[in-house]
Chains A and B, each alone.
Chain A
Amino acid sequence: MRYLILFITGLSLLLVTSCIIQFIPEIEEDKALLVVEGLITDQYRTNTIKVSTSLPLGKILVPKPVKGCKVSITDKHGMKYDLKESSPGTYITDSTKFHGQVNDIYTLTIQTNNRTFVSNPMEMKPVPLIDSVYYEKTIIDESNEFGIPLEGCQIYIDSHDPLKECLYFRWNFTETWEFHLPFSVPNRVCWKTNNSDKIFIKNTSLYNQARVTKFPIKFISNETDRLKVKYSILVTQYSLNKDEYTYWEKVKNVSENVGGLYDVTPMSIPSNIHCFEDPDEPVLGYFSVSALTQNRIFIQDKFLGSPNFYSQCVPGDTVFGLKPIPGLNVSVWIIEDHTFAPPIYRITTPYRRCADCTAEGFIRKPPFWID
């Protein structure tokens, strides 16, 4: 529930005198547990079950796949669908043979070389369409140091299920934005894509209607370049059954509502997947069964107070004449090239991101992009 977040915000009051220190915990244990990331949807496309092992902390997270498992899904009629290992640790359904049906119940079975893991039977709930995804300008600060108001962008979701079949919702999103380098360089226009990494869930069983109003899915502050040119967000809405909602709610409580005065005692949240041979062995991850709908919007608007993200590019070196610039393309980049008419000079920068937008994005326009 949202009011819990209040305590986290409460933290900010304390920040006046409090401080936060980053540290690297010294942990003796090094457990590698089985991780299952599985999602069955009602879409006519491949469903993916990923099997890997958990990773120690303090290292870059690159999952270690578990190869050679036998993975299958059984529906409520006992029909069994085997999955195929498409790449190490990634098991996919055949989209021609299998797609999830609303109100069906699915069970996941994974056989590794010595053990069997079985999920609880999970019911697929229907999901309504997203009513709308929209945004509002919000004032971050009434005036910055130059007296200009700072505006951010808050993106909301409205949704409702008139049949009240879907009471629990989950969302995630993929955001894509176009950005331009303010210099005349060859790779000037790029797109960047980012996936949500937070848990967005809503319980509408508390309401008379299965209705979600103004659910804040994304806040864009003025500290990013997302709003400079054009921004797009694709929101995916999933139906959850109550078990899965409870799982996400608990996970959110222990993983996101932290850093305040009232942190919930950290504990691992049991998965819906269990080891058949040893029920006490923890299994990580979840076998999700959801119907989904999607909605994409574009935002092209003027937001006040957006700072210049390339100001540190400019105090680069100005090189006159046509002589070759030593180290070009290795550690020095040209951001302005005045070689057509005198005075001939070029401005260089030590930052690749100032001279080449592919340093951070993709130059290829995404297929869904509308100019």
Chain B
Amino acid sequence: MKIKILILALLFLGNSFAKSQEKYLITWDYKGLGFNEFVARSESLYPVRFFYNDEWIKDLKLGEYEGNLSLTDILDSLFRGTTLFYYIDDSQNIVLTRNFAVKIADAVGEEKQNYIPGNDYKGPVEENPSADNLVADIGNPADKNKSGNVIISGYITNKDTREAVAGATVYVPKLSVGTISNEYGFYTLTIPRGSHTARVSFIGMKERVIDINLFGSGELNIEMKSTLVPLKETIVSADKNITLQRFEVGVEKINIVSFRLMPTSMGESDIIKSILLIPGVQSVGEGSAGFNVRGGSADQNLILLYGAPVYNSSHFFGFFSAVNSDIIKDATLYKGGIPGRYGGRISSVLDIVPREGNRREFAGNAGISPITTHVVIEGPVKKDTCFYLLAGRTTYSNWILGLIENPALRNSRAAFYDINARVAYDINKKNKIDLSAYYSHDSFRFNSDTVYKYRNNIVALRWRHFFSSRFFSGLTFNNSNYNYDISSMKVPQEAFVLSHKINSTGLKADINWYPGSRNEINFGFDLTRYEVLPGSFEAAGDSSIVHPDIITRQRALESAFYIEDRYIVTDHVSVNAGIRLSSFFAFGPQTFFLYNDAFTRNISSVTDTISFGRSENYRTYAGPEFRLSVNYRLNDNSSFKLNYNRTRQYLHLLSNTTSISPSDTWKLSDYYLKPQIGDQFAAGYYRMLSKKKIEASVEIYYKVIGNMVDFKGGTNLIMNKYIERDLIDVEGKAYGMELLLKKQEGRIRWSVGYTYSRILIRSTSSLSEEKINAGNWFPANFDKPHDLILTFNYLYSRRFSLSANYTYSSGRPVTYPVAAYKIGDIVLTHFSDRNKYRIPYYSRLDLSITISGNLKSKKIAHPHWIFSIYNILGRQNIYSVYFKYEKNMVKGYMLSVFGRPIPSVSFNFDF
């Protein structure tokens, strides 16, 4: 295949199209020549160059020689009746296109250069940098007078890096029709023939306006340019038309450029922290790992990186996300309306889409802040077909600890690092593969010999195959591993290593099929094999008398098949209906005690034991998960959506602490632990106000969660072989309303989000030992009814911007002691009903200022500084409440984590 790389950018530097080719009279006999031979000869005789794809012209032969004709006349007659078109620029380049013609601009002036990107040839293409508009003719002009709808489709790519732009909006305002590109950057739009104006937009990219003359179905590939400096975005934003177009309720897209600017606590932009600004997402408190979505616990969120689950999403006690923001292209949080392709967690899915790496040239970025430093490099191995991205991040907090006066802290250590690597290779136009790897490591110890370490490790291989322009498939094979170990050598006789591990291997196939103009069908399967080591406690060193103890590994297979159809019923109504059949098979070897149901499970209610052999399937849980969304477009400015989804979860994080603790362990559903089941009903109303500048939405939801677990008081979950004895079965219900008003354009951008939500829990057992609050509903730890989030961005200039955000939320519930008593000299307290009281409200204002060095594009490195102050009001927000006995009295204490403003500065530069 002969493909010539063409820098088309050059083509458009001038605006006058020379007609000189007409002078090239063909005076030689070309009869019967193949097109290639004709080209070769023409190129040797005249100062012209041809650009085309061999495949198009392989059957093309030149006809009779009829005397001296100009080159253009010959091409005109040759291509007549084919789908091929050509155009000639003033550098005498002759570019062939298929399915559409390049329309030469009516001389509107230099501003309006015209260009249509080709769909099949591979040269990088570009619009005139000074103009956003282009004109495209699609289909055969001969069909001009036909009527009816036709389909245009194509890929949207980032011009600078050639990465696919997923989630970009293609919108035809006149028709109020639009669509969103899928994860491959592919979009499809069904509109009537005729002339239309389409707007293509995406956060952080320059909007493109394309005039389309639509004669028939065809492809239109679009390249978008990043805004020059990524300083222009506000915090969390979805494209304004997306909200109206999307099927699901409760889907938020977060773009990396948006949280780059977000004020931070330690000078690090952070994906989880930016998620917390979305209405309906909360956390237990500052620095707590994990987040709670619409009343779900933190382990009910599926965090996907490279399509693989991340089991521990935080570094450094939750102050940092485990995923380096350098590698993130965008992330989508599904609070509700979870598509059929996702499953396994009941509250939400956070799908982190990594950047692919720059396909064109070597590039990089590095940054430094008081706590961390990070570097990313990327570039092509082989231009446009093979490219890589490497990112690393590490902390050097140890030196800070070393400076602290307190000797206990001076002897403490805390460190983490993470590495991401990715190589992508386009085998050919139809097949693309990429291999990604992620490793994160945390280690800390506190003035003692107890060392705590944990690691996340992900490897994922993805193969994308394009059967046709309407049929895509993605096959992902991944392995995700999380393990921790806690060790102490302090007393050699008791030196131990305590470990926990979860390993999952998944094979996932996703197929997107666009049959016809109204349907988008997605189907596929998801197989995951789990192996969990609940805990092992082993001797460390020769003198240790620790008796090795290993809790039997859990093994299981989770499988799911799904199919869903996004169907446009009428111009106003569209439906997304799907079903996911998920099942879970737990395998031996495993031994369980059986208990007398009349009593709470403990050693004295054991009636029997039951053993299962190797690979014996001792428990199966299965069930359908229905997913349904209906979008009703009321008019051009507003839409109404309904959504129902059911989700099932077979993997549980055992935790009896307020927030996820680093020693919490994962456990699979087993003989006793049933899968959690969530049902969510949601409705939303969306409206564009003030000439579509302001986006307003209201979403309400009601959620029922079955088979949640809680634990009997004070239970030690580490190395607990008989968790079933400490379980308390609980169920949950959550409901809420989320209001959002945001303006995402102009120099001043802002958003106001208010959420009212409740999450209530009730124990379901009739046994008094397994009742919490006598079986009545009580608020969960993260029940914060009122939540207000304000964000503000002021883009003073390209070099200077200011952003602020403010968070208010109700205090979370806590349990107070109600009575005190003594055993010997030990004072103990009796606790009230669970979560009957609340800590004071939470309020925090953060501010950050970004200053860019300069914007000369020729400069080798583009520096920018971010100055930020976290908690500028210095409010001592209460994290937790506890009680201690002192001087004959039980006294209450409130702990606040960041009780004063925390300034930080970070320096970043792109190269």
Interface residues of A (CB under 8 A from B): 1-4, 6-7, 9-25, 27, 29-33, 35, 37, 52, 54-61, 63, 140-142, 172, 195-199, 205-209, 211, 213-214, 242, 249-255, 258-270, 279-280, 282, 284-286
Establish whether residues A266 and B815, one from each chain, have CB atoms under 8 Å apart when the complex forms: yes
Stretch in contact with the other chain, from B7-15, B787-795, B878-886: B878-886
**A272 nearest CB across to chain B (Å):** 12
Pick 11 A–B contacts, CB within 8 A, sort by A. A12-B409, A15-B406, A19-B900, A21-B896, A23-B893, A32-B819, A61-B890, A198-B826, A253-B716, A259-B882, A284-B819
- Whether A197 touches B819, Cβ cut-off 8 Å, given contacts A13-B446, A209-B545, is no
* A128 and B200 alpha carbons, distance in the complex (Å): 81
How many residue-residue contacts, CB under 8 A, span A and B? 270
Establish whether residues B821 and A27, one from each chain, have CB atoms under 8 Å apart when the complex forms: no
Interface string of B487-511 (1 = CB under 8 A from A): 0100101101010000000000000
Partner among A25, A35, A54 whose Cβ is within 8 Å of the Cβ of B837 = A25
Establish whether residues B537 and A206, one from each chain, have CB atoms under 8 Å apart when the complex forms: yes
* A253 and B712 alpha carbons, distance in the complex (Å): 12
* A69 and B344 alpha carbons, distance in the complex (Å): 57
Nearest 3 CB-CB pairings of A with B:
A250-B714, A267-B713, A54-B819
Establish whether residues A285 and B894, one from each chain, have CB atoms under 8 Å apart when the complex forms: no
Partner among A14, A22, A37, A268 whose Cβ is within 8 Å of the Cβ of B823 = A37
Establish whether residues B406 and A10, one from each chain, have CB atoms under 8 Å apart when the complex forms: no
Chain B interface helix/strand/loop/mixed: mixed
* A25 and B837 alpha carbons, distance in the complex (Å): 9
Partner among A54, A172, A206, A261 whose Cβ is within 8 Å of the Cβ of B830 = A54
* A259 and B885 alpha carbons, distance in the complex (Å): 13
Max count, chain B CB within 10 A of own CB: residue among A54, A61, A199, A265 = A265
Quick check: is B546 within 8 A (CB to CB) of the other chain?
Answer: yes
Quick check: is B895 within 8 A (CB to CB) of the other chain?
Answer: yes
Max count, chain A CB within 10 A of own CB: residue among B715, B769, B837 = B715
Quick check: is B859 within 8 A (CB to CB) of the other chain?
Answer: no
Q: Which residues in chain B, 627-668, are within 8 Å of chain A measured between CB atoms?
A: 656-659, 661-663
**B712 nearest CB across to chain A (Å):** 7
Max count, chain B CB within 10 A of own CB: residue among A13, A59, A259 = A13
Interface residues of B (CB under 8 A from A): 287-288, 317-318, 401, 404, 406-409, 412, 414, 444-448, 450, 452, 486, 488, 491, 493-494, 496, 498, 537, 545-547, 549, 603, 656-659, 661-663, 710-716, 718-719, 768-769, 772, 774, 781, 815-832, 834, 837, 876, 878-885, 888-900, 902
- Whether A27 touches B816, Cβ cut-off 8 Å, given contacts A18-B899, A59-B889, A251-B828, is yes
Establish whether residues A265 and B882, one from each chain, have CB atoms under 8 Å apart when the complex forms: no
* B772 / chain A contacts, CB cutoff of 8 Å: 267
* A270 and B491 alpha carbons, distance in the complex (Å): 33
**B260 nearest CB across to chain A (Å):** 24
* B885 / chain A contacts, CB cutoff of 8 Å: 197
Query: Besides A9-B446, A10-B444, A13-B446, 5 other CB < 8 A contacts?
Result: A29-B818, A61-B820, A63-B822, A208-B545, A249-B714
Tell me the nearest residue of chain B to A252, going by C-beta: B714
**B330 nearest CB across to chain A (Å):** 30
- Whether A57 touches B657, Cβ cut-off 8 Å, given contacts A13-B412, A21-B894, is no
Establish whether residues B831 and A267, one from each chain, have CB atoms under 8 Å apart when the complex forms: yes
Establish whether residues B896 and A19, one from each chain, have CB atoms under 8 Å apart when the complex forms: yes
Tell me the nearest residue of chain B to A262, going by C-beta: B661
Partner among A60, A214, A253, A260 whose Cβ is within 8 Å of the Cβ of B888 = A60
Establish whether residues A31 and B898, one from each chain, have CB atoms under 8 Å apart when the complex forms: no
**A114 nearest CB across to chain B (Å):** 20
* B825 / chain A contacts, CB cutoff of 8 Å: 172, 195-197
* A199 and B401 alpha carbons, distance in the complex (Å): 31
* A63 / chain B contacts, CB cutoff of 8 Å: 821-822
Establish whether residues A9 and B448, one from each chain, have CB atoms under 8 Å apart when the complex forms: yes
- Whether A58 touches B889, Cβ cut-off 8 Å, given contacts A259-B884, A267-B831, A284-B828, is yes
Establish whether residues B406 and A12, one from each chain, have CB atoms under 8 Å apart when the complex forms: yes
Tell me the nearest residue of chain A to B870, going by C-beta: A17
- Whether A20 touches B815, Cβ cut-off 8 Å, given contacts A196-B825, A267-B712, A268-B830, is no
Establish whether residues A2 and B819, one from each chain, have CB atoms under 8 Å apart when the complex forms: no
* A242 and B447 alpha carbons, distance in the complex (Å): 32
Establish whether residues B656 and A35, one from each chain, have CB atoms under 8 Å apart when the complex forms: no
**A139 nearest CB across to chain B (Å):** 8
* B547 / chain A contacts, CB cutoff of 8 Å: 205-208
**B312 nearest CB across to chain A (Å):** 14
* A281 and B450 alpha carbons, distance in the complex (Å): 41
Establish whether residues B288 and A261, one from each chain, have CB atoms under 8 Å apart when the complex forms: yes
Tell me the nearest residue of chain B to A265, going by C-beta: B656
* B828 / chain A contacts, CB cutoff of 8 Å: 251, 255, 284
* A20 / chain B contacts, CB cutoff of 8 Å: 893-896
* A33 and B546 alpha carbons, distance in the complex (Å): 41
Establish whether residues A57 and B893, one from each chain, have CB atoms under 8 Å apart when the complex forms: no
* B718 / chain A contacts, CB cutoff of 8 Å: 1, 3-4
* A293 and B17 alpha carbons, distance in the complex (Å): 105
* A104 and B712 alpha carbons, distance in the complex (Å): 29
Establish whether residues B317 and A16, one from each chain, have CB atoms under 8 Å apart when the complex forms: no
* B820 / chain A contacts, CB cutoff of 8 Å: 54-57, 61
Tell me the nearest residue of chain B to A62, going by C-beta: B888
Partner among A57, A213, A261 whose Cβ is within 8 Å of the Cβ of B491 = A213
- Whether A57 touches B817, Cβ cut-off 8 Å, given contacts A17-B900, A266-B831, is yes
Establish whether residues B714 and A251, one from each chain, have CB atoms under 8 Å apart when the complex forms: yes
* A3 / chain B contacts, CB cutoff of 8 Å: 450, 452, 486, 488, 498, 663, 718
* B657 / chain A contacts, CB cutoff of 8 Å: 262-265
